[in-house]
Amino acid sequence: MHAAKGSGLAANQVGVDARLFVIDSQTTFDHMRVESRSVYYPGDHGIREVFINPCITSYSSREWEYEEGCLSIPGIHVNVTRPWSIHIEYLDQQLQPQSRFFEGLTARMILHEYDHLEGVLLTDYIKSWRLKLLQYKLKRISKGKVKTAYEMKGVKSIKV
C-alpha cells in the first residue's frame, strides 16, 4: 500500500478472504497543504488503523463529492459523493472493540475500503456512458496489462 502511495487497502484486494482493511490517512494529512487540512481533516490529524470485522452503524446526511482513485483500478479516477461523517464499530489490531466517529477525508477513506468488503468497486460509481468510454482501458487493467509501481495479477471483478 505505501509503496504504491495508497492510503488504504482491503484484505480482499490482495486475495485474503477476511473482513478487514487498513487505513493510513496520517500520511495524506502530513503531505497536505496547511490550508487544506482544516477543510478535509477538521479537528483530526489522520489515523493509521486496522479495521477488523467493521460495521458502519450510521452515516451523516451531509454529503460531499471528491475525486477518488483505487489501487485495484490504476489510472482511473472518479468523483464520488459520500457522507461527510460516519460512526463505525470494529476490532482494532489488538482485537479490542472500538466504536468511533470519523469525518472528512478519513471517513471517505474508510468508506472506500468498506466498499471493497461489500463487493463495491470504484467502477460502480462511474456513469454508464463513461464506463463505455473506459471499456478498453478497464479490460487491460483486468488482464493486468498496466504499468504500476506494484504487482498486478489482474482484477477479475471489474464490471465492463
Give the highest mean pLDDT range of 3-12, 31-40, 65-74, 78-87: 78-87
133 in Cβ contact with 50 (< 8 Å)? no
In a domain, 128, yes or no: no
Strand-pair category, 48-59 with 63-68: unpaired
Enclosing domain of residue 91: 8-123
In a domain, 96, yes or no: yes
Tell me 94's DSSP state: T
Q: Which residues contact 89 (CB under 8 A, 6 or more apart)?
A: 54, 55, 57, 97, 98, 99
In a domain, 143, yes or no: no
Residue (of 51, 77, 48) closest to 65 by Cα position: 77
Number of domains in the chain: 1
Q: Span 115-126, mean pLDDT?
A: 92
- pLDDT at residue 158 tops 60: no
What CATH number has the domain bearing residue 59? 3.90.45.10
In a domain, 146, yes or no: no
The per-residue DSSP string of 19-53 comes to: SEEEEEHHHHHHHS-HHHHHHHSTT----EEEEEE
Distances in Å between the Cα of 88 and the Cα atoms of 94, 98, 131 are 17, 8, 31
In a domain, 130, yes or no: no
Residue type, 155: V
Catalytic positions, written as ranges: 113
Q: Span 47-61, mean pLDDT?
A: 97
pLDDT at res. 47: 94
In a domain, 59, yes or no: yes
Q: Burial, 7: exposed, middle or buried (Cβ in 10 Å; 0-12, 13-18, 19+)?
A: buried
61-94 pLDDT, tens digit each: 999 999 999 988 888 899 999 999 999 999 999 9
Average pLDDT, the chain: 87
In a domain, 46, yes or no: yes
Confidence at 4, pLDDT banded by 50, 70, 90: low
In a domain, 134, yes or no: no
Distances in Å between the Cα of 150 and the Cα atoms of 58, 89, 108, 123 are 34, 31, 23, 20
